[in-house]
Amino acid sequence: MIRHEQIEKNSGLLLVLTLVIISIGGLIEIVPLFFINDTIEVVKKEVTERTVDPNTGKRVRVKREVDAIRPYTPLEMLGRNIYVREGCYTCHSQQIRPMQDEYLRYGYYSLAAESQFDHPFQWGSKRTGPDLARVGGKFSNRWHVEHLTDPRSVEPKSIMPSYPWLSKNKLYYKDVEAHMKALRITGVPYSKTEEEYNANVERFGESVAKLLVIENATANLEDQAKTGMFDTSSDYISEMDALVAYLQVLGTMYQFKDDDGIEYSKFR
């Protein structure tokens, strides 16, 4: 039996044993990847669409499955940029770990599929504030606006800084199409051609595919800002509109069921 002090006094033996331990840890992490087809989960949802029946020529409603996780809309995309610019990721994570206490507090654990279109991802490494992976829909638009403008007005013990300029600053979106084209190069399926649009219709459904057309980005952004009524304190599209739109979509693209854990546990 080798005593611990013998290992510490023998630098060569210590180095060899350290490499052995690191190798074992690496194999435990790497080997499982060879036994699954993909490290990104396939997350589907059912949608109802209107289509033309080839037999009767009439428009009918049909149900089919499409990918639940979609790229951000132009407004959400710019909101995410503001989230990064203001350093929100330094205090908030977007990664719920598969532990019971996190499940009870934040909801279903995060899937790799949910951040597949994030460049870069916003998992974070610190939680001064709560995890935001599933914050979408938990609070009203008005609550988010008030919280971002003056956190203490809704959370008296909050240590979060105020961001009053977000409602005052007009959102700059003249380069939104160029931004989408850049993300398209990285693999985000924003459509530039009719073939890409048709592929998105098949993958995400027609309603989502329309929001991913690059040449319609400005019109889609303005329409979402108007109908979403994110920041009603200004009569123009503000940075607050974009940031709240981004926060409200987090964790809402797929509604997890109680038995989903059985299906996705193999990806942990």
Give dist(CA 145, CA 229) in Å, integer: 11
What's the CA gap between 254 and 251, in Å, rounded?
7
Distances (CA, A) of 48 to 6, 60, 65: 70, 10, 9
pLDDT at 258: 61
- 219-256 pLDDT, tens per residue? 999 999 999 999 988 889 999 999 999 999 999 999 88
For the cut 90, the answer to whether the pLDDT of residue 4 exceeds it is no
| pLDDT attached to residue 266 | 47
Q: Has residue 267 got a pLDDT over 50?
A: no
Tell me the pLDDT of the chain averaged across its residues: 91
What per-residue confidence (pLDDT) applies to 245? 98
- What pLDDT band is residue 268 in, cutting at 50, 70 and 90? very low
**CA 69 – CA 207 distance, rounded (Å):** 14
Between 52 and 86, the more confident residue is 86
3-state class of 66 per DSSP?
strand
Q: Out of 98-102, 142-146, 168-172, 260-264, which region has the weakest mean confidence (pLDDT)?
A: 260-264
Amino acid letter for position 242: A
- Give the other-Cβ count within 10 Å of 6's Cβ: 11
Place of tokens 């949608």: 47
Q: Does pLDDT of 165 surpass 60?
A: yes
Architecture of domain 74-249: Orthogonal Bundle (1.10)
How far is the C-alpha of 96 from the C-alpha of 105, rounded, in Å?
Answer: 9
Q: Please determine, for residue 145, whether its predicted confidence score (pLDDT) is greater than 80.
A: yes
pLDDT, tens only, 31-57: 887 877 777 888 999 988 887 777 787
**What is the average per-residue pLDDT within 18-39?**
87
Buried b vs exposed e over 62-80: b needs ≥16 C-beta within 10 Å?
Answer: eeeebbbbbbbbbbbbbbb
- What's the pTM value of the predicted model, to 2 decimals? 0.84
Q: How many CB atoms lie within 10 A of CB 229?
A: 11
- 110: confidence class by pLDDT, cuts 50, 70, 90: very high
How do the residues of the chain divide into helix, strand and coil, expressed in percent and rounded to 5? 50, 10, 40
Q: Would the CA dihedral through 257, 261, 267, 268 be positive or negative? A: positive
